Chain A
Amino acid sequence: MISNEFEQLLSIYEKAGGNKDAFSDKGIANLLIHGDKVLNVNDVEGVILKSEQKKDGVIAHLSVGKDVRVKNPIHLCFGILSREGRQEIGVNIFIEDGAEAEVLAHCVFPNAVKVLHKMDANIKIGNDAKFRYQERHYHGEFGGIKVIPNAKVSVGKESIYENIFSLLKGKVGFLDFNYEVNCSGRSITNMIAKIYGKGEDEIRIKEKVNLNGEGARSLIKTRVVLKDKARAEVIGETYGNAPYARGHVDCVEILNGKEALAKAIPIVSVKDEKAKVTHEAAIGSVDKKQMETLMARGLEEEEAIDTIVKGILR
């Protein structure tokens, strides 16, 4: 049974653009979880990857040792293959001083009709470290899924943190994304979220960045495209609490459907007179000039929209 789930999950993982060989490669740290079961776990030198089972889920611990530079991206895969299910994942990540690592997480729920996927993450990045967390979702066409990712992140001095979340394949269902990042001196934080809402999808994104250290910099970049009756509310908050902190909130939401609804709420606040935080938000239909340019090259209206949207969500 387990091996069957293992194979199935990996084949869907592959369809979602993942490299399934990563889960049999001893040189790649990985963790594969189906529902509340750990199907595979492997760590490499300098990387500790552990998991413990809990009710309806798993708690995963990832730590990367001091000054360790992890060569290959650490692969995580969370999924539920059945139509119904509940998965609560706790994630504790600790990137020690001077370490460099990248996580590639895939979340696959191809048949979800009534599925809950909840993630509570605690990410601690030491000083002078680099950490990139990429999470790609692959949902089925039914939309019967609730995805609730929550994270608290602290970024050490002079560290770089990048978070890339994308949910482009299949229906979103209901998404409630909530991240809060605390940034120390001269650190860099990039939060990028790209989501394609269709049908009756409901999307809520809340990203909050506290620029607490001198010279900390951040970018919150959100790209949402909404079709049919999909709705989205995007809240991007940045607080400049220290001298020379620089933050920017950049939100684009494109409506491609008469009944779609988008809302953007940028909140920018500055406590220190030497800090500067800016924002831009563009909500509306596809840019007219872009459309006309592609149509002047012979594309039909729908083809032009597809081309533009594909670029924006890339």
Chain B
Amino acid sequence: MLKIENLTLKKDSRQILEKVNLTVEKGEIYALLGRNGTGKTTLAYAIMGCNDYQPNEGKIIFEGKEITHLSISKRAKLGITLAWQKPAGFEGLTVGEYLRCKNKNANVHSLLSVVGLSSDYLNRTVDDKLSGGERKRIELASVMAMKPKLAILDEIDSGIDAPSLPFIRKTIQKMRADGITVFLISHSEATLNISDRASLIGAGRILKTASPKIVKEFFVKHCKKCSHLYKINWERIKYDF
């Protein structure tokens, strides 16, 4: 469904992504893990087509069609959407309006209940008065309102209270059951466990792609000990490839 080929992205002459290659299969939950600052969000932005994150090299292919130079709106129309790691606030815009911004007939009550919020939220504004976790849930609901083909969820589980986490994971599994392909960025082990396949990213490179279990083991063995987020000790890990 999604193929990324040799994607390189620089910011202020610093290489953030380096020759990233990956494939996401239709209908799977594909997880991306890696330490802070390794390029996960940057990759999410590049797939979505955000303005400041245009790749310097490489290709992004969605359902067989190259989308590397398409606008965000065009990619969204093809069925790609993104839940921001730090979602934007909107002064004066209500949750109901936000959820219905594209699909006027979206069933906002059921969307809210799917993310564990009551319909009382419909008239609240999507501004910084919402708590971090509430905003995250609304972000997930707004992604679902779009009925996308590919949902990129950037740390959708961060800021969610522990008792609700299993519930959020169930929601993501339900998305898969409904035929939505999920590109999942997360730091949580339990969230990674619901994925079908995972990749580990370090210093802007994909270090390993395998089952979530294997990738996690690899991560624990190499990255947790590594104090350099940007400089990887290639000598130490190259034998694992």
Contact = CB atoms under 8 A, between A and B. Distances in A.
A298 B84 contact: no
Interface residues of B, number: 27
B115 interface: no
Given A289-B88, A293-B84, A298 B93 contact: no
B180 to A, nearest CB: 15
Interface string B60-91: 00000000000111011100111010011111
B88 A298 contact: no
B73 A314 contact: no
B91 A298 contact: no
Given A297-B102, A297-B142, A290 B88 contact: yes
Interface stretch (A198-206, A211-219, A299-307): A299-307
Interface string A275-314: 0000000000001111011111111110000011011111
A287 B72 CA distance: 15
A292 B51 contact: yes
Given A298-B146, A308-B93, A312-B92, A293 B51 contact: no
Contact of B101 (A287, A299, A312, A313): A299
B48 interface: yes
Q: Which of A288, A289, A298 counts the most chain B CB atoms within 10 A?
A: A298
Nearest to B99: A297
B101 A290 contact: no
B82 to A, nearest CB: 5
Q: Is the interface of A mostly helix, strand, loop or mixed?
A: helix
A238 to B, nearest CB: 21
Contact of B88 (A287, A299, A310): A287
A80 B92 CA distance: 32
Interface in A251-281: 252
B50 A292 contact: yes
Contact of B90 (A292, A295, A298, A308): A308
Interface string B200-232: 000000000000000000000000000000000
Given A287-B88, A299-B101, A292 B93 contact: no
Q: Which of B80, B101, B142 counts the most chain A CB atoms within 10 A?
A: B101
A313 B93 CA distance: 10
Contacts of B90: 290, 308, 311
B73 A311 contact: no
Interface in B32-48: 48
A252 B73 CA distance: 26
B146 to A, nearest CB: 6
Q: Which of B72, B76, B77, B82 counts the most chain A CB atoms within 10 A?
A: B72
B48 A296 contact: yes
A308 B84 CA distance: 17
A295 B88 contact: no
Contacts of B72: 292, 295-296
Contacts of A288: 51
Contacts of A292: 48, 50-51, 72
Contacts of A307: 93, 97, 101
Contacts of A312: 91-92
A296 B81 contact: yes
A292 B73 CA distance: 8
B92 A311 contact: yes
Contacts of A301: 73
A287 B97 CA distance: 18
Contacts of A252: 91
Given A292-B50, A292-B51, A297 B146 contact: yes
Contacts of A311: 90-93, 97, 125
A289 to B, nearest CB: 4
Closest 6 CB pairs of A and B: A311-B92, A311-B93, A314-B92, A295-B72, A298-B76, A289-B88
29 contacts: A252-B91, A288-B51, A289-B88, A290-B89, A290-B90, A292-B51, A292-B72, A293-B84, A293-B87, A294-B101, A296-B75, A296-B81, A296-B82, A297-B101, A297-B145, A297-B146, A298-B73, A298-B77, A298-B81, A298-B146, A299-B76, A300-B73, A301-B73, A307-B101, A310-B93, A311-B92, A311-B93, A311-B97, A312-B91
Given A292-B72, A295-B73, A297-B76, 17 more contacts: A287-B88, A296-B72, A296-B75, A296-B76, A296-B80, A297-B81, A297-B146, A298-B76, A298-B81, A298-B102, A299-B76, A299-B102, A308-B90, A310-B92, A310-B93, A311-B90, A312-B92
